[in-house]
Structure 1
Amino acid sequence: MTTLHTINKAPSDTSLWQSCLSAILPGDALLMIENGVYAASQTSITRQLQSMHDVSLYLLSADIEARGLTDQIRTDATLIDDQQFVELSCQHAKVVSWF
């Protein structure tokens, strides 16, 4: 059973990020939304994310654009739109929101 994890807090909320990252299992997916997309511009977090094997990484493109981060992304996460967010949610057995 795979899980889609969504996180909307900036990486400065270290406790939430550590809880989220420790709950992710191989085959799961992580979608960064709202202020969570700031993680894609921070080297320390992106190293952690890229070391997670068999975990798919996604960024909500509207949130990246709204925060002016388009040229600052340091991860190989896939940019998705709102429709793809819905599709991704339907593809997973569970969705866990980290707020």
Structure 2
Amino acid sequence: MSTLHTINKSPSDNTLWQSCLAALLPGDALLMIENAAYAAAQPSVMTQLQEYDIDIYLLSADVDARGLSGKLYTNANIIDDQQFVTLACQHTKVVSWF
């Protein structure tokens, strides 16, 4: 059983991020959407996420809208909306952190 976690706040919302990280289990996936895409450009956040046995995703539209292309400190999977739907269907449950 795996969970897709979606988070939409930047890492400056420390309480939300810490709650999300505490819920991650091996095999889960984390999709950073909206302002959470900024996390992928922050080495400290991405280094912390690498400690978890999870897959990391970003929505391409959010990366583009925030001018982050070429500034990402990660090898996260960049996906589109259709792939987001597929990803959600591949997991037993989806938890949204807003």
The reply to whether TM is greater than 0.5 is yes
For residues 60 and 49 of structure 1, the distance between their equivalents in structure 2, rounded to whole angstroms, comes to: 17
**Other-structure match for 1:51:** 51
TM-score (norm. length: structure 2): 0.98
Structure 1 CA distance for aligned equivalents of residues 93 and 7 of structure 2: 14
**Does structure 2 retain, via aligned residues, the 8 Å contact 1:59–1:77?**
yes
Q: Which residue of 2 aligns with 1:65?
A: 64
Question: 1:76 — aligned with what?
Answer: 75
Q: Is the 8 A contact 1:50 1:75 kept in 2?
A: no
1:16 equivalent to 2:19? Answer no
1:4 maps to which residue?
A: 4
Task: Name the counterpart of 1:38.
Answer: 38
Cα shift readout 1:16-50 (whole Å, capped 9, x = no counterpart): 00110110000000000000100000111000111
Indicate the percent of aligned positions where both proteins have the same amino acid.
67
CA contact (8 A) 1:31 1:59 kept: yes
Structure 1 residue ranges without an equivalent (≥5): none
Q: Number of paired residues?
A: 98
How far 1:52 sits from its partner (Å)? 1.1
